[in-house]
Structure 1
Amino acid sequence: MEAEGQARRALVAGGGIGGLAAALALARSGWSVALFEKAERFGEVGAGLQMSPNACKVLRWLGLYDRIAEGAAQPGAATMRDGHTGAPIYRVLLGEAAEARWGAPYLHVHRADLHAALLDAAREAGVELHTGAPVASYGTRPEGARLKLEDGSIHTGAVLIAADGLRSPLRRVLNGPESAHFSGQIAWRGTIPAEWVPEGLVAPEATVWAGPGRHLVTYYLRGRSLVNFVAVEERAERVEEDWSGAGEADRLRAGFAGWHDDVQTLLAAVERPFVWGLFERAEQVRWCDGPVALLGDAAHAMLPFMAQGAAMALEDAAELVRALSEHPRVPDALLAYEAARWDRVTRVQAQSRSNGMLFHKRTEIGRLFSWAPIAALTWLAPGLAAAQLDWLYGHDVTEGLP
């Protein structure tokens, strides 16, 4: 690499899960890392994350799995039910079956717990953490990247990783003006103390309740002390893309009126949900510009219907370190990173869109033709049903990494 010192300095924009994972992975591999977060302090809103086996493999590589697993909930299965009748449509065993088939468990994790673990590990690894530091733009130079913050200060390094989220300022510098259009769907989310709902109401599984124009996902967090919910409904009224937007519980309940009694009982316990609009963006023309690369949502925003957003960001961090270790020149390494990730994340994006359409079938005939084959496969050939996820959950991006 170019000149000593600067040649091993990395800049990371964004202190979310992707940014912290990248900063930690880089620091652990010998880089001097400075991370810049726009918020005045680090923190995450209360919400759940599904850490599928491919994500848990990255957590193991980062040395965080034991801490995360200690406070997580482990579902016994992933299920899909008819939102009105409760009839089972799809079921794949997780728990011990996930470890046996895909090489790692499937966990439900509180987002704040994962964020705190990454933040603590980054501090311990010597990452410089700067808060209240929104990024504005970047430039490139023969010896590396130049990051400009909104306050006018300049920071330099051999590599700049833009993990600055869905509305990434650095992505706009790299790719020019962009358009994001409202998908016609909104998402509600929140957590409920498990003691607020009748015992046994929520199965210890990752459950999707599916129905015309909407679906509800439920699962436990923090050793089954919290119930996490994510409810998505199609709506013409535009809602801003703000994860911390306050929603009205009565409007949430109204959207699922007439659904199964278990759904009604659960939503009756919701007090203060968050609500945000789901937006779609055109695929990025490129992720890289010399010593600059996008990572996580900044690179490949996706609809949440595969529960893979955080998992893909974690995988990005591992593949980034691999590429930088295998290619002496940073620009070559970043192009290799992009090439290694492109097909996989594009497939996840496409499957996420497809799942949204599958969950929301509006007509009985549409549900029959879409759901009946899935149900038949699940009950008649459960092994074959699980095999449909081998490409995703069985993948180990850390294989061969020290």
Structure 2
Amino acid sequence: MSTDKQKKIAIVGAGLGGAAAAALLQEAGFNVTVYEQSEEFSRLGAGIHVGPNVMKIFRKIGLEQKLSDMASHPDFWFSRDGETGDYMSRIPLGDYALKEYGAPYITIHRGDMHATQIDHLKPGTVQFGKKLSGVEDSGDDVLLSFEDGTTARADIVVGADGINSKIREVLLGPEDPTYSGWVAHRALITGEALAKHNLSFEDCVKWWSEDRHMMVYYTTGKKDEYYYVTGVPQEKLEFEGSFIDSSREEMFEAFKGYHPVVQALIESTESVTKWPLKNRNPLPVWSEGRLVLLGDACHPMKPHMAQGACMAIEDAAMLTRCLQETGIDDYATAFKLYENNRKERATRVQSVSNANTFLRDQEDPAWVYGYDLYAQDLKTEG
């Protein structure tokens, strides 16, 4: 009988979750190939929070220190009233996170983190330009077909292909995600532009009002990039695609009456994009046959809690644990174990994130940041 090392795992999608799954599975001795529809990756202008819950996973991969060295390490997550600037909460991070949660809390450029993850994989792991066109689970293996005319076979397939997942469609049928009624504006501001203002810019702060917010933080340890992402209600989605260009004028209108620091950020913005926030209800199943989902493919969420990518990486770590427990031959048990040990937490985070209440007021976030996936006993029942 062939060993797990001879069997093949295909991951569809080389985003943050897919790259983490590939690294963890390789570290565990599995044979992995990642199929990515993009021709190449670029340093897209977006930031990301990485909590201690996920830095512990990067520790296992061997990337914790490298990511820490390039990232910003905020001492607090501040929440402030958008108009008055009054503090609504001060959530300790920094040294407190190291002591209480067992790992650092960082903010980093998404592209820098992603490139570090991809570079860590074995050469040839990621196959670019592989847009999936067909999936056939014969029961003995899975045949993947791509738009470039090539095919590949695998013993199991991990769908890490995002909210519009082709693997999810195979499991549950075609269904468009729903528009949430919110958009997110995203922009990177240079440290040079910030220096023109005689103002204090905090390392990590979320400005709130009743129906909108702006989250702002540094994306590098050098603090030469300051990033913001918003949540703003917009009743109708008036454009197609992932995003469109926005403008300072639109931002000034959206945040009229907000604090002078927010006005200075908008004034310093050279370019800003606007993204629709889309969603899905919790899925009835995360796997079927030899196919299994992770991350946004099975539990997409609004970015308001800064844990979407972290949940995908936690999924990757738990799926790896379960496959190590059972072996690939007993993939059905592994997939059931994986869902039993992830669904409750992922659904809770999805719900809180979508509600946009996390850390608005003073609270203890230990249930999120203090979580250690490797310290959890595997539950055989959900």
Tell me what 1:210 maps to.
208
- Secondary structure at 1:40's aligned position in 2? coil
C-alpha contact (below 8 Å) 2:246/2:273 kept by paired residues:
yes
| Alpha-carbon distance in 2 for matches of 1:311, 1:54 | 8
Tell me what 2:167 maps to.
170
Amino acid of the structure 1 residue aligned with 2:138: R
Amino acid of the structure 1 residue aligned with 2:350: Q
Displacement after TM superposition at 1:241 (Å): 7.2
- How has the CA–CA distance of structure 1 residues 299 and 241 changed in structure 2, closer, same or farther, with 3 Å as cutoff? farther
Listed as ranges, the matches of 1:310-389 within 5 Å are 310-328=309-327, 329-355=330-356, 374=361, 378=362, 385=363, 388-389=364-365
| Alpha-carbon distance in 2 for matches of 1:334, 1:252 | 44
Displacement after TM superposition at 1:31 (Å): 1.5
- Secondary structure at 2:302's aligned position in 1? coil
| Alpha-carbon distance in 2 for matches of 1:40, 1:331 | 33
Tell me what 2:366 maps to.
390
Tell me what 1:281 maps to.
280
Tell me what 1:368 maps to.
none
| Alpha-carbon distance in 1 for matches of 2:70, 2:175 | 39
Tell me what 2:219 maps to.
221
Tell me what 1:381 maps to.
none
- Secondary structure at 2:126's aligned position in 1? strand
Displacement after TM superposition at 1:143 (Å): 2.8
Amino acid of the structure 1 residue aligned with 2:317: A
- How has the CA–CA distance of structure 1 residues 83 and 394 changed in structure 2, closer, same or farther, with 3 Å as cutoff? same
Deviation per residue, 1:213-269 (Å, 9 max, x gap): 210011111121111101121112315575553222221221111111111011111
Deviation per residue, 1:178-230 (Å, 9 max, x gap): 242211111001110122113653112x2110013210011111121111101
Where structure 1 has 5 or more consecutive residues not aligned to the other structure, the ranges are 360-370, 379-384
Pairing 1:134–2:131 present = yes
Tell me what 2:380 maps to.
none
Tell me what 2:302 maps to.
303
Displacement after TM superposition at 1:126 (Å): 4.4
Listed as ranges, the matches of 1:39-188 within 5 Å are 39-122=38-121, 125-188=122-185
- Secondary structure at 1:300's aligned position in 2? coil
| Alpha-carbon distance in 1 for matches of 2:214, 2:40 | 32
Pairing 1:258–2:234 present = no
TM-score by length of 2: 0.92
Amino acid of the structure 2 residue aligned with 1:340: N
- How has the CA–CA distance of structure 1 residues 239 and 188 changed in structure 2, closer, same or farther, with 3 Å as cutoff? farther
C-alpha contact (below 8 Å) 1:7/1:157 kept by paired residues:
no
- Secondary structure at 2:244's aligned position in 1? coil
Where structure 2 has 5 or more consecutive residues not aligned to the other structure, the ranges are 378-382
Amino acid of the structure 2 residue aligned with 1:102: Y
| Alpha-carbon distance in 2 for matches of 1:103, 1:5 | 32
Pairing 1:8–2:7 present = yes
Displacement after TM superposition at 1:340 (Å): 1.0
| Alpha-carbon distance in 2 for matches of 1:327, 1:82 | 50
- How has the CA–CA distance of structure 1 residues 16 and 253 changed in structure 2, closer, same or farther, with 3 Å as cutoff? same
- How has the CA–CA distance of structure 1 residues 193 and 243 changed in structure 2, closer, same or farther, with 3 Å as cutoff? farther
Deviation per residue, 1:351-390 (Å, 9 max, x gap): 112225x89xxxxxxxxxxx7xx4xxx4xxxxxx3xx311
| Alpha-carbon distance in 2 for matches of 1:252, 1:239 | 17
Amino acid of the structure 2 residue aligned with 1:138: V
Amino acid of the structure 2 residue aligned with 1:209: W
Displacement after TM superposition at 1:399 (Å): 3.5
C-alpha contact (below 8 Å) 1:219/1:228 kept by paired residues:
yes
C-alpha contact (below 8 Å) 1:243/1:274 kept by paired residues:
no
Displacement after TM superposition at 1:61 (Å): 1.0
| Alpha-carbon distance in 1 for matches of 2:224, 2:102 | 27
Tell me what 1:25 maps to.
24
Deviation per residue, 1:292-340 (Å, 9 max, x gap): 1011111110111110011111111111110001113112111211111
| Alpha-carbon distance in 2 for matches of 1:19, 1:65 | 18
Count of aligned residue pairs for this structure pair: 372
- Secondary structure at 2:21's aligned position in 1? helix
- Secondary structure at 1:395's aligned position in 2? coil
- How has the CA–CA distance of structure 1 residues 247 and 284 changed in structure 2, closer, same or farther, with 3 Å as cutoff? same
- Secondary structure at 1:11's aligned position in 2? strand
